[in-house]
Structure 1
Amino acid sequence: MAKANQKIAMNPSDNIAYDKLVLSQENVRRVKDGVTIEQLAEDIGRRKLLQSLNVRPVLDGNGEETGTFEVPAGGRRYLALGILVKQKRLAKNEPIPCIVNRSATTSAEEDSLAENVHRENLHPLDQFRAFRALSDQGLDVEEIAARFFVSAATVKQRLKLALVSPKLLELYEQDEIRLEQIMAFSVSDDHGRQEQVWERISNNSNMQEPYYIRRLLTETTVRADDRRAVYVGAEAYEAAGGVVLRDLFEQDSGGWFQDAALLEQLVFDKLKLDAETVRADGWKWVEAAISFPYGHTSGMRRVYAEPEELNAEEIARYDAVKAEYDALDAKYAEMEEADQEIEDKLDQLGAELDGFSDRRHVYDPTQKTIAGAFVTLGANGQMQIEAGFVRPEDEPRVETDDDDEEGDSEDRDASQSEVDSGNGVVVNGRSVNGTSDGAEEPEDEGIKPLPDRLVFDLTAQKTLALRNALASDVDIAFVAVLHALVLQVFFRFAKDSCLEISMTSNSFGQVQDLAETPWAKEIAERHEAWDRDMPDSDNLWDFLLGLDEANRKALFAHCASLALNAVVEPWNRRPGALAHADAVADTLGFDMVTAGWEPTVENYLGRVTKARIVEAVREARGEDSAQLIDHMKKDLMAREAARLLEGSNWLAEPLRLDVDDAVADAGETVTDDEPDDADRDGDAELPAFLVDDADPSSDESTIGTGDEADHLQAAE
């Protein structure tokens, strides 16, 4: 007869007074982790015990129960109850629900260990959904955070994760998507777009990195730190119905403006209003745009604001303060010992004098009637106003004698006038080789103007003589050339130089964002500084003669530099000029590396083929580094290449000098310093997903940043 299996009998439960319980020394938990005892006490105080204590009776020397029980499993709950007793929120003899274990087959240590080892922490997805359920029940973020002893930011993060596409959350539950990837997908609330991105990257592990997921989800958006977004502002954009995407897990610099078209329209509308405000200040015209091409002011004269003039009272005060300052300064200079009182007084007077100098600058109202302004956005998103530009057609017209006599020549009777043909004088249609055919020409009253041909002959002689004299004086010749250059650079349409020197300065306005380069900004600042000091063209010669040698040379170098052109254009073959540009660079000791150029996705890598990208990395970092990226999609390849090339001193071919090309042909990279052995071996620092032996166990399921523990745990 078969023996029936013995049924399992559960340990009995009992309510035991708290003062009859003691903490067992066999409890295996020694290290504090998760929710603190104090936090657990607060939770028990609000919702009471959710789990009984596991206790064993304390025996005396004869093996009899003493009525006291030790707690080998549930020690943290026991200690939390003790805090409530100390706070007098719980009576000492309050009955505590307990499971009483009197079995001798297991020890107290084993009970304690089993309770902790067999317990499975809550899956993060379950916690996301639970927080979502609490939110749906009406609890706000702050209340949820208070109840579960986490920060409000953590609650927001977990609520955000719960809003990711259910299809992706199901894949996360099945361990087919990592938590870091779910965090990246939470940037967008568009489930369709999330699923579309996953479909695109699911078959390529190299494209599944969180940063790349974020990039795909935001590729049609505008970053919040973009100048357009800063100019409009998130508040105005959202008020117009726009949505700002936020990343709660990474630094996102304000997020992304999802509707780029709406943002552009808001920018144009605001620029239009700002332009009208600027024009109301009295300018003849105002042009507004997000950005203007480099050299957009070419061909225009510029006028500048001047400090407001002092009135009679201010002039009198200035003279008095200046006289007092000079007298006190002279007196102090003769003193042998320092006097703090006099020094303070000098500082006070000096500050008052500085106030007279630092006056508000204003434009001449008459200049505003012919000049205009450009309104645009700076890189920081603030409105920038470039004012005081006069278009050629708005320049005041200068009346000349030629204008008054313009119609006179049309009324002359050719049959009665003498025409200088170069071969003689034509009289009544007959050429007499400049003679009067024996008859004397009647004298008119007064002296007639000299014939044009004679004036030409005489001034030709003067020109040659003056050329000869100028050639003997290098300094004046330098000033004469400088005068011609300055007229063309700063006055454009002035024709006041006797030197027939023509200068061309290409603005390269078709190059995107050229004005934002450090070189363009430095040139513009230098040009404006000189432009402010320029007199009118009539007084330019005396101005140049009055400059000291150093300033004269600096101005000459500035003007000459604007004529340099080393641009390669397919329709304009000029190898000699390009070779000369390299020679000038070599003489200057110039190269684009020291000038600060580095290959980026925007300026090179994103605009060439994959083969070119790989070749650049091969030249700079070696074959091993090139092989690390040669299998990637182009956009990811360009980003990684930019990181690998950083600090390598690699230059694109058009930026190399002739000597650079010679070295490159020999298979070497032109750098100021040779790459170290690690770079040659391709051991450049690589992202984790490019390292073959990366430890997959290093991917921890973490959420957020900050001081709180990132691991998701149950309350116990």
Structure 2
Amino acid sequence: MATAVQKITLASSRDIPFNKLALSQSNVRRVKAGISVEELAESIARRGLIQSLHVRPIIGDDGTETGMFEVPAGGRRFRALELLVRQKRLAKTAPVPCVVSEAGADILIDEVSLAENIERAPLHPLDQFRAFLALREKGMTEEAIAAAFFVDVKVVRQRLRLASVSPALHETYAEDGMTLEQLMAFTVTEDHARQEQVWEAIRDNWAQEPWQIRRMLTETTVPASDKRAAFVGIEAYEAAGGYILRDLFQQDEGGWLQDPVLLDRLVGEKLKAEAEAIAAEGWKWIEVAVSFPYGHDHGLRELVGTPVDLTEEEQAACEALREEYDQLEAEYAGDDDLPDEVDQRLGEIEEALAAFEDRPVIYDPAEIARAGVFICIDGDGSAMIERGFVRPEDEAPADPEGEDGDGAGGAVPDGAEPGSHQRAVITIGGEPSDPEEEDDETDAIKPLPERLVIELTAHRTLALCDALASNPRIAMTALLHKLVLDCFGPPVSGCALQARVHDVHLPVQSPELGDSPSAQAIDERHEAWKRDIPLGQDDDRLWDWLDQLDQASRHALLAHCVSFGVNALYERPNPYSGNGVSQQGLDRRMHEADRLAQATGLDLVEAGWKPTVGNYLGRVTKTRIIEAVREGAGDHAAELIGHLKKGDMAKEAERLLADSGWLPEPLRGPVDAEAKDDAFGQDDDGVALPAFLAGDDDDDDETASADDEATQTVAAE
């Protein structure tokens, strides 16, 4: 016969007037913790009593109930209600929700108090972050949330920032996969994809410190302490639409500027304005850069100018400052430590005297006409202007007649009238500030801008990834090549197997890279594998799944994974520190990229790359545009666009080169380059021109002349 289970009877609840309650001396809470009684009272006044009190009848000496109740569990709530009564905000007889236990219960009252406090489960921090976010989404301001929960507004902002981290990282944190300090570090960027990418890169490494996470997340941003930011000014950057992300959990020295391209543009504009103002002084050339390398003025003759004389008032002020300085030094000569106000005054005098010494310098106008100026940004963010440097080729020729420099010795440049100011040639970062003007001055083809080379090699890197993933045999060779080097080369430290694919980050890329055929092919392939692979489950199941794959599928998956490690990206060599790549390392990288491209048969034309105004033609000089058209469409086509302005020339060149298969140097492989050079070097008769650009040799001179006129008109449009 089954034994009946005895049912539990819960204590009843009822409302009891507050003046019938008394705090029990058996309450276990003695040490203050959590929010204060005052804050709890305000919470009750705002939201009411969320949790009932637990009470027990008080028994008199005669063994009967007195009508009073003691409170063993809920003492802080009782004290908060008591405070509200004293403040006349709550009536003494106000009913209080209470759970009433029996007076003669077997459970000790101390046990009830202890259980009520230790069995309370604290709220997980992530739930608190999400709750704050939900309140803000429902219309509460940060200030209102702070007032409602008696915390500082900064605390609310911190928790809201934590709530904005990637949901995937939230889940990792909820499962104790990362610490709160690590989660805080991820708040320095709002890019969820980058947050997840960094976590995937470090999750299995020993380097998981918060500072390491912050460093990786901000490597493509510019700290507000950077001299470029100080030069432009944070206000000007924000006024131009720039965004600054702050670290709410640590000192960040002003945060990080999230748009380095915008910052560089503003820096260039301000430096150019400085250069144009100085150009009015009559200098022959002005070189502008964010910073110049050490020894940039070596081999140049520096002019010796005459400082501007001080006025009588300035001379008197200078002497007075020197006397004051000498008096203060003599007065405190025997003191080990100077008083703060005296030390501050001495510093002010030194700055004032330095300003008098650093006064403008007057140069000989004849020397100015052949000399130049360097303009860069000083370490404190101010403009550093170095005037008066003469290049060897600009030196005045020796006068065989022995005449002085006032004659025809080259004091006045060719083509300039005596007494007139020449227009300085301004170069910014090695590029002319006015490309149109520079193109008119010289037909020489200068090196491509470094940023453009990086963008072009980013296209090549992505196309090479796609090509390698489509060729398992070459991917296997590349992987074996890496493993053989690791196995038979110099010893390296590591774990069981030092074969790891590092996903290459492309910090500089053109806007259309994400929509390129290579990028779309990689994404589609990755999503297809992602749907099949049993991710997020135990490793044994993944191993079994891989083990059961057929040989063709295993090769295809291997090729796809290996392709993510391809790095054919150009970057500036850095031989002076451990960061970046050395020149030797860069040469090796580009050589191996050429080998992979040749082995996979990569053709950037077939991969979908075409020269456009945005990705190349609008970024280079007119000379390079004409050279590109000459190589891709022939000499005749190049001659027809030679008279156009740069903007129109770039648009017309894009049309002419659309189906030509022409590639710039960074996108040509070693074999490609030879083949294309041979093809581009063929006779013009072998180049097909558009109808309106093509001439008819059989027509008479009048028709040819009319065609030429029509052709020029259309090209100019």
TM-score, normalised with respect to structure 1: 0.49
TM-score, normalised with respect to structure 2: 0.49
| Larger RCO of the pair (alpha carbons < 8 Å, separation 6+) | 1
Say which one has the larger Rg: 1
